[in-house]
Amino acid sequence: MVDVGDKPVTRREAVAAGTITMNATAFEAVRDGTLAKGDIGPLARIAGIAAAKRTADLVPLCHPVPLDHVAVDVRLDEPARAVHVEARVRTRWSTGVEMEALAAVSAALLTVYDLAKALDRGMQIDAVRLLHKSGGRSGTYEGTGRSKRRAR
């Protein structure tokens, strides 16, 4: 692991996003809340929050980070037959939370896949990316494709 012991504790934030697209049958069931395994919104949010909290267990050499806040926003996009996920993670610590935000998005999208796979095994998870990072020595990063709607 990288030694972060001499780095100052500062407020750090990261926002990540991703998308899963699916066939019309699966999207209708997602939209209507009729999936056999349940409603994707609450389940994907909980999966994302849990993944952010356990990122150091998932990613080798990733520091365990005490998180101040994790928010996962799940939004349906009917014309694209897609579910968009955005995660915002904050801490006051000596290392950033980009990996936690990316893990949250990935776990939320995998949960959507698991819930809807009976209707479409060809769903595609796409565009998982870092949108924003602030705090720490490297300063602020603004990625492309930033959603206008912020995670709550």
Please identify every residue annotated as catalytic: 114
Tell me which DSSP letter residue 132 carries. E
Q: Is 144 exposed, middle or buried (0-12, 13-18, 19+ CB in 10 A)?
A: exposed
Quote the tokens at residue 69.
């806040």
Alpha-carbon dihedral angle through residues 120, 122, 126, 128, given to the nearest 10 degrees: 70
Measured N-to-C along each axis, helices 24-32 and 98-116 cross at an angle, to the nearest 10 degrees, of 100
Quote the tokens at residue 78.
């009917």
The backbone torsions φ and ψ at residue 3, rounded to the nearest 5 degrees and listed phi first, read: -80, 115
Closest CA to 70 of 94, 57, 87, 95: 87
